[in-house]
Structure 1
């Protein structure tokens, strides 16, 4: 049989302290007071008397009080075997001490035991009765010539213990409770002589919160009785559970003042609640369980406070469908084989002094006595004793340490019990862990998860949450007006991940990584640039190389047919320079393809600007040369001296030099450089060339547009010149196409992202270069190669004259 050894330990400690002082009494009083009905009173005389108050009966009959006559005595009902065993533990301890001649030689211990019957009235009556000698209640007087009262063991309830402690504290009588856990009893100013062998609720409630946190439960219901034990416990556990990050689905009070304990209301709340975990801090839970049975409320996991975690009254087969799988905190207990033998030896014929023995017999053996008769058997100031109780510190034979701290509390050690189905088909309380508040950090809470059996004999830890868990890649979003545990799940923002369930916030990836599709881990970002390995890259590269061969081919044709009229009439040297610049224009596009090395970034725009400046300068020189050549043939013209090579060379040198100076300033003061862009395209690292100065880039491009515009205007004005000298129309179309390409390039360039920005510039380079090649040289090559009859001086001069005369 398992019992809490606290009662026996107190008696042993009291015995130990009595060896240190003398005992005697000289007080004699003559009293004639009305007798009280002492039903439920056990007494055994001795040289020293130990008092005890116990809750033997767990129900009572209440009578109406009309204040016109003396209230009737309370009638106690529903005998509880488990509480009666506590009474017998005190009697057993006394008998063991008396049988040991070494503990108290020549001194016999006696006891006075009173059944408080779950009421404050009986608790006060018991305390005052023992202070008065055990037979009559006479405050401040002892009217019985028995042994001195050393102290009182009791009571089991916090409310009753508080009432008794207020009385006993006045007389400095030591009071040691074996079951009162209210934190208020630790106040030494209010209760200077109170001690207990069970830890304060503050330790247990922290343990309950740890239990909730250990299993990841965040949605919990609370039930507590409306007494000091329940109210203080409710306040503490609510605070601890909230601090642990859980939320309360409901918090209800069991109204012990009502006959039905408001059980129907509580059962409805528990039934409707989505919380699967309910913490119960109460002694009187039976009525609520009965209502839960009536409404068929099952499927909940109960967390029991120590007041009922090992209750035999609730461990019956009737409640196993509801309470199977219950977890609770129990006072650390030990095995006492001798006490088990002692209880089995109890018999009504040998324990005539015990008024409870017949009820015990009836309850234990499910029988009924023919007639019920209770046999009733028939202070000194010993304030040295309180001092010694305060300093008690010893170890029992079983290795249990007995001591009290400055607040009268023992070491806080609990067993964690699990309610399982035994082989006999009944509920049994199996220890699956422990909680030692004074243990080292990290070792105070120990529990064997695999040893726990939940409801329906399930071994998986049940889930109790207000909202389903947020998966990886999601985060919790608090819903306004609801508890923090009732949330919604939202996908992590772009560029962030959550790698654990129920993440409160998402974590950003490092600059060189990016979330996967599930957003639960960061992967290295792929780099992006216009590579020769990409289809777009090698297509543009092939087009550049092929295009660059075209001006070389045309140059070869011009060289081979340089004596023909068409080639000579179109300024052969200037055309060759233009074709070479176009060859470089096509090739410069290759500088934009491939990995952007720093050297490539520094030179590619400069090279593009210089070769295009040379190209447009040649076109402009060609246009001006045509205009000057035509006007110089008129009689008396002063333009004859400007028809030489110097004019075109000067135009090319001046126009190209301006662009060269612009590029030199750009490179020196705002040099382009290679950079890693992680913002333009999410999930990628764009390796690109930063132009250093966007202003310089657009100035260079604007300068090329300016040259092209002048060429277009001059060519357009000279479009009606005779055909023999007229390249103006061809130049007009070429410059119109050139300008159209680059005007279209601007919005496309600004809107493109990543490698497509570079591809857009390459495409513009190739397109504008082809515009010049196609408009100026293709028609001439066609005549030279395929229409040689048109490549004659007579034909050119004749057609030119006719057109001039007609015009």
Structure 2
């Protein structure tokens, strides 16, 4: 290659360095179609003489470096763009598990590294990367048997130029079933006759954009080959076009002695580098034209000066190539970018083998890195013909099956990120897309559905009047309220009887009315909590219950005073006035009212949406605001009940035949038992049942007071009127 280069620069067959023979005219630039490595070697010599080098073959990505290769231009895209196009193709089909087989040259290795980085950045993984040499087939054979045939990756990128086609043909690598092969643009693989592929529709190839040049086919058919320099390869190329197997559009009429027996180059008219060669020649022609026009506009040269002008042509031409902008015969605007690359892209080819054995090469997509984002990559998925051996269309290539919505990926230890297990989303989280790395937490007011693939509003719960528990409690409260009202009516009707008058009937009326209010206030606890209901729930209950307990305490004190006041000279007689009983009720109730008002003005209860009480629900409840105030109210009720119990217990053995202290003692015992058991139950209950526990405590304690205090009296009034006499009530017990 170096010898041939020196011949070009010196103009002689001997190739003398730094010697230039002008017999054939001055050298302006070199248009070459060398393979990648040879093109790079040639550039190292051409830049010494400042000769522009235009390649229509090499996509070597190293040669985009304008510092190392300042005079290099090409009419094919850089392999850097090829790597980008392959990554976009993988992303389009969601192929995340791939393998790479590449040639062992420097340019391919650099491209493989770019591919690896790009695939991993887009969420893909590479099962293996293997290299091979075109000079040895044994490593390739081992690669086929040990890796490719057993690979779980169904997509394999074959990155190699046409120098390696011999090894690929020898091993029939592309015949492995159920594998998709992505082949790089350096392959002239579409020449069916040169590679001998069988009928496997499993390849997608990135091929440099090819376009038909106007009148070119006519030129090929009609031009006289004798006009061209005598060269054995050129002569063979023309003879290949004489065979009957060539398409009519390019077939030449030749004599029998001109037909080539090899038939190797017929389809290169369609699939070769003609479009790139055409652009190379016209780019150079336009640059030369611009040089001549620019310099001759202000200079009049005679023939002696023409030679001097041409001596400086190479470096002048370099300037005009860098700023070249022209329109070719296809109406396309052509220019070299800042790296010296012509702004063209790739076609994506799908090779289809028809049942009759013929081959069809269909353009199914394209990649143009110079197009606007979003329009740079296009593919017609419906136009791709896949092999019948594929079980899925389009084929899939993943290390692990997709994780459906409701699951997330769990990477396996010591394996690539693409290899994972699918595990359900944890409680409270969802995944609404496939292959999610992490699940998303639902908003606070939402909860995952059963499949955990969407967030749905949490169920709003509270103790309502429509549910069975709410209905049952409401009916019980109303029933007890009515029983209480009936008892109050009985006491009013029989108010003049001894048993009603015996223990301060006014206090009995107050107690019965306060118990009726207790039953009614319990209904506030049922239904959707609101701002008003939360304010009045505990406060109304606390005040009404304190009135009830204060009335019981007043009755108990009255019984004790009444017994001791009968003794001669006892000073307690002056406390027998009913005003003292009212004072006890008012003072005890007033103190509770002060507690409640302080509670309301400092930290009042308020409606609260409890998201944490029960899984998947929003509990609407009343937040007590100040727990200290809440327990002070309950504690004060317990204090009143305890005092009443102690006083009644001490007075239980007074000698009256109908001693009300006994019933007060029992009623306070029931009351205290209910509320002592209420506290741990209340603290351990969750959700709407917390409210049910409190209302049940109100119901049980109120019913206990009502039953223990008034049922025995009603029994005597209604069923034993013979005992409802003063004589019986004052009779001493035996």
Cα distance change, pair 294–368 in 1 and its aligned pair in 2 (3 A): closer
Cα distance change, pair 481–510 in 1 and its aligned pair in 2 (3 A): same
- Output the TM-score relative to the length of structure 1: 0.76
* Matches for 1:311-390 after TM superposition, within 5 Å: 311-312=190-191, 318-321=197-200, 324-336=201-213, 339-340=216-217, 353-356=230-233, 367=261, 384-388=313-317, 390=321
| Equivalent of residue 40 in structure 2, options 148, 162, 175 | 162
Shift of residue 226, structure 1, vs aligned partner:
1.0
Provide the C-alpha distance between the structure 1 equivalents of 2:468 and 2:214, rounded to a whole number of angstroms.
88
Q: What secondary structure, in the 3-state scheme, does the structure 2 residue paired with 1:191 have?
A: coil
Q: Is the deviation greater in 678-687 or in 274-283?
A: 678-687
Residue 655 in 1 paired to residue 588 in 2? yes
Provide the C-alpha distance between the structure 1 equivalents of 2:377 and 2:518, rounded to a whole number of angstroms.
78
Shift of residue 567, structure 1, vs aligned partner:
2.6
Match of 2:60 in 1: 182
| Equivalent of residue 140 in structure 1, options 15, 18, 28 | 18
Provide the C-alpha distance between the structure 2 equivalents of 1:524 and 1:315, rounded to a whole number of angstroms.
66
Shift of residue 154, structure 1, vs aligned partner:
2.5
Match of 1:116 in 2: none
* Matches for 1:362-511 after TM superposition, within 5 Å: 367=261, 384-388=313-317, 390=321, 391-422=323-354, 424-456=356-388, 460-511=393-444
1:214-251 CA-to-partner distances (Å, cap 9, x unmatched) read 22222222222111331121122222222333222222
Contact 1:672 1:690 in 2 (8 A): yes
Match of 1:56 in 2: none
1:410-439 CA-to-partner distances (Å, cap 9, x unmatched) read 113221222222464244321122222222
Residue 753 in 1 paired to residue 630 in 2? no
Residue 298 in 1 paired to residue 212 in 2? no
Shift of residue 339, structure 1, vs aligned partner:
4.9
1:341-361 CA-to-partner distances (Å, cap 9, x unmatched) read 666789999999332368766
Match of 1:83 in 2: none
Contact 2:658 2:730 in 1 (8 A): no
| Equivalent of residue 556 in structure 2, options 623, 646, 656 | 623
Shift of residue 177, structure 1, vs aligned partner:
1.6
Contact 1:530 1:595 in 2 (8 A): yes
1:549-606 CA-to-partner distances (Å, cap 9, x unmatched) read 1122112222333333333333322222211111111111011112222222211211
Q: What secondary structure, in the 3-state scheme, does the structure 1 residue paired with 2:408 have?
A: strand
Cα distance change, pair 255–266 in 1 and its aligned pair in 2 (3 A): farther
Match of 1:231 in 2: 109
Provide the C-alpha distance between the structure 1 equivalents of 2:710 and 2:170, rounded to a whole number of angstroms.
103
Provide the C-alpha distance between the structure 1 equivalents of 2:170 and 2:690, rounded to a whole number of angstroms.
75
Q: What secondary structure, in the 3-state scheme, does the structure 2 residue paired with 1:484 have?
A: coil
Shift of residue 401, structure 1, vs aligned partner:
4.1
Shift of residue 725, structure 1, vs aligned partner:
4.7
* Matches for 1:242-253 after TM superposition, within 5 Å: 242-253=120-131
Match of 2:50 in 1: 172
Q: What secondary structure, in the 3-state scheme, does the structure 1 residue paired with 2:91 have?
A: helix
Cα distance change, pair 580–717 in 1 and its aligned pair in 2 (3 A): same
Cα distance change, pair 349–394 in 1 and its aligned pair in 2 (3 A): closer
Q: What secondary structure, in the 3-state scheme, does the structure 2 residue paired with 1:557 have?
A: helix
Cα distance change, pair 406–649 in 1 and its aligned pair in 2 (3 A): closer
Contact 2:189 2:195 in 1 (8 A): no
Q: What secondary structure, in the 3-state scheme, does the structure 2 residue paired with 1:356 have?
A: helix
Q: Is the deviation greater in 337-346 or in 779-788?
A: 337-346
Provide the C-alpha distance between the structure 2 equivalents of 1:782 and 1:536, rounded to a whole number of angstroms.
32
Shift of residue 492, structure 1, vs aligned partner:
3.1
Provide the C-alpha distance between the structure 1 equivalents of 2:382 and 2:316, rounded to a whole number of angstroms.
47
Shift of residue 548, structure 1, vs aligned partner:
0.7
Q: Is the deviation greater in 207-216 or in 765-774?
A: 207-216
Q: Is the deviation greater in 769-778 or in 170-179?
A: 170-179
Q: What secondary structure, in the 3-state scheme, does the structure 2 residue paired with 1:783 have?
A: helix
1:161-183 CA-to-partner distances (Å, cap 9, x unmatched) read 11111122212233222221112
Cα distance change, pair 407–551 in 1 and its aligned pair in 2 (3 A): closer
Residue 665 in 1 paired to residue 598 in 2? yes
In structure 2, runs of 5+ residues without a counterpart are 244-258, 264-306
Shift of residue 788, structure 1, vs aligned partner:
2.9
Match of 2:524 in 1: 591
Cα distance change, pair 231–801 in 1 and its aligned pair in 2 (3 A): closer
In structure 1, runs of 5+ residues without a counterpart are 1-122, 370-378, 803-807
Cα distance change, pair 621–786 in 1 and its aligned pair in 2 (3 A): same
Provide the C-alpha distance between the structure 2 equivalents of 1:460 and 1:309, rounded to a whole number of angstroms.
27
Shift of residue 441, structure 1, vs aligned partner:
2.5
Q: What secondary structure, in the 3-state scheme, does the structure 2 residue paired with 1:195 have?
A: strand
Aligned residue pairs: how many?
668
Cα distance change, pair 795–246 in 1 and its aligned pair in 2 (3 A): same
Residue 695 in 1 paired to residue 695 in 2? no
Contact 1:745 1:761 in 2 (8 A): yes
* Matches for 1:245-264 after TM superposition, within 5 Å: 245-256=123-134, 258-264=136-142
Contact 2:458 2:617 in 1 (8 A): yes
Contact 2:464 2:528 in 1 (8 A): yes
Provide the C-alpha distance between the structure 1 equivalents of 2:481 and 2:430, rounded to a whole number of angstroms.
49
Greater helix content: 2
Contact 2:619 2:687 in 1 (8 A): yes
Provide the C-alpha distance between the structure 1 equivalents of 2:311 and 2:388, rounded to a whole number of angstroms.
56
Provide the C-alpha distance between the structure 2 equivalents of 1:403 and 1:759, rounded to a whole number of angstroms.
83
Cα distance change, pair 334–240 in 1 and its aligned pair in 2 (3 A): same
Shift of residue 300, structure 1, vs aligned partner:
1.3
Contact 2:399 2:419 in 1 (8 A): yes
Shift of residue 625, structure 1, vs aligned partner:
1.6
| Equivalent of residue 218 in structure 1, options 83, 88, 96 | 96
Aligned CA RMSD, in angstroms, stands at 3.2
Provide the C-alpha distance between the structure 2 equivalents of 1:504 and 1:452, rounded to a whole number of angstroms.
32
Cα distance change, pair 397–309 in 1 and its aligned pair in 2 (3 A): same
Shift of residue 149, structure 1, vs aligned partner:
4.4
Q: What secondary structure, in the 3-state scheme, does the structure 2 residue paired with 1:523 have?
A: strand
Q: Is the deviation greater in 351-360 or in 427-436?
A: 351-360
| Equivalent of residue 536 in structure 1, options 449, 469, 486 | 469
Q: Is the deviation greater in 124-133 or in 302-311?
A: 124-133
Q: Is the deviation greater in 251-260 or in 659-668?
A: 251-260
Contact 1:267 1:292 in 2 (8 A): no
